[in-house]
Amino acid sequence: MLNKKCLLIITCIACLPTLSIAKPISLVESCVELVNIYESKNSQRLLAAQTTSLSEGLRAGYCLGVLTNSADFEYNCRSDWFRRAEFIATFSQENNRPSERKILKLSCEI
């Protein structure tokens, strides 16, 4: 019985590193999702809520949250969030992207 408990504990400990591996959310890819969901700031694509998966919606929400937060607290940015998301999404094709902080700062200047 003791050996079974030890084996179970060792197995659980060995599995912990694989459970904690999560891919970080990329601001650029999140903004691509946001732009894909919305055609413009005021007009939602027809049936967007029904055709958007949960993961797409979460990524888009992450982009919108970062843009809103950075506009209010970090960069005192007055640019339209949708235009900023479009600008950030253009970096999806670049191999050597600037840092996300730099991209956010640049997006306020448009």
Q: Is 56 helix (H, G, I), strand (E, B) or coil?
A: helix
pTM over 0.75: no
Taking each helix axis from N to C terminus, what angle separates 100-108 and 81-89, rounded to the nearest 10 degrees? 130
DSSP conformation class of 71: I
Per-residue pLDDT of 8-65, as tens digits, reads 565 555 555 554 555 678 999 999 988 988 764 455 555 555 566 777 878 888 999 9
Contacts of 88 (CB under 8 A, 6+ apart): 27, 28, 31, 63, 67, 103, 104, 107
Q: With beta carbons less than 8 A apart as the criterion, state whether 51 and 82 touch.
A: no
Task: Quote the CA–CA distance of 82 and 42 in Å, as a whole number.
Answer: 10
The confidence score (pLDDT) of residue 40 equals: 47
In the predicted model, what is the mean pLDDT of residues 79-88? 91
